[in-house]
Amino acid sequence: MARIADLIAAGRTFSFEFFPPKSDMAQLTLGRTISELESLSPSFVSITYGAGGSTRQRTQQLVQWIRQETTINPMAHLTCQGHRRSEIAEILDTYAAADVQNILALGGDAPADGSAEPSDYTYASDLLDDVLASGRFSVGVAAHPEVHPRSPSRDSDRQFLAEKMRRADFAITQFFFEAEAYLRLVDELAALGVHKPVIPGIMPVTNKSQIERMAQLSGAAFPTWLAERLSTVDDPDDVRQVGVDVATELCARLLEAGAPGLHFYTLNRSTATREIYANLDLPVKG
Ligand code: FAD
């Protein structure tokens, strides 16, 4: 069983996100990470796609390698801004031919320097239409518990998300640190009549300055209590330990509240995720 819609229907999913490495050394690190995480029997792993197609070849190669050379079920991220319909059709054909059955349909971001390529797409929902019309994939979309930074209001963010989710199989969220942000999102979707699975995205803190920058870019709140907990530590191992403890508490709360799974932003490293798995006593291959 490789379609994520079917996996979610069968029970909770536990999944990991990787990005395509840029150098030979980074490639080796990711190879080691994937082999270490394979023993946790993830339900699926997902591979990011550089905005405007900047990692098109590397994302495809990594997704296909995982499909062919490991026992892990891959999902390919695909962003649509900066793409023509014909390019998206080609990419979808390549994945279908490699028996990749899952796509995360994303809007992506225009380059900050204004050098955007001509595009047949504006929003993720345009791409979602094309992926669904191809009829070959289980399709997920992105959700933003603390509201997407470009949304003019919470209400409009939820309306457009609900509209995507009525057609997609599931959503995966941007990372967040307070369970309430996720629970409120799920309630707001339910109020709009949407009850599809929303998988929370978990980012264990492993580096103080990096996480603050990432939170700022993605619109995730960086709570004072977390800044205070991190202010007591400086040694990288101690920072990671605080990050693992905080993520473990968040995951436990989300699972208790009925989340349909957990999706870990690994940043291509395995240690923090493996420690959280052990703390939560999640199933590991014998
Ligand atoms: P959209 O659904 O298009 O939403 C973008 C904004 O437009 C929102 O404010 C929304 O409310 C609004 N909107 C949507 N539809 C309409 C409409 N019809 N009219 C007016 N406004 C509308 N980025 C990458 O570059 N590569 C990745 O691999 C990647 N993976 C991600 C994985 C996850 C789980 C998440 C949560 C994000 C990921 N991102 C990735 C980031 C994502 O591409 C950005 O957050 C992007 O700015 C928005 O993507 P989206 O799919 O939410 O877009």
Residues with CB under 6 A from ligand 1: 48-49, 51, 77, 79, 106-109, 123-125, 142, 148, 150-151, 156-157, 160, 164, 172-174, 201
* Distance from C-alpha of 267 to C-alpha of 249, rounded to nearest angstrom: 20
pLDDT (0 to 100) of residue 98: 97
pLDDT (0 to 100) of residue 285: 62
H/E element holding 93?
helix 85-97
pLDDT (0 to 100) of residue 49: 97
154 C-alpha to ligand 1 centroid (Å)? 14
- Give percent above pLDDT 70 in the chain: 99
99 C-alpha to ligand 1 centroid (Å)? 26
Class of residue 233 by CB neighbours under 10 A (exposed 0-12, middle 13-18, buried 19+): middle
For the CA of 109, the closest atom of ligand 1 is 47
User: Can you tell me which residue has the tokens 């240690």?
Assistant: 271
Which residue, by CA, sits nearest to atom 39 of ligand 1?
108
- pLDDT, one tens digit per residue, over 117-130 is 889 999 999 999 99
Q: pTM, whole model, 2 decimals?
A: 0.97
- Let me know: does 239 contact 208? Beta carbons within 8 Å: yes
pLDDT (0 to 100) of residue 21: 96
* Distance from C-alpha of 279 to C-alpha of 204, rounded to nearest angstrom: 13
Question: Is-catalytic flag, 17?
Answer: yes
| Confidence bin at 148 (pLDDT 50/70/90) | very high
27 C-alpha to ligand 1 centroid (Å)? 27
Which residue, by CA, sits nearest to atom 32 of ligand 1?
142
- pLDDT, one tens digit per residue, over 1-34 is 599 999 999 999 999 999 999 999 999 999 999 9
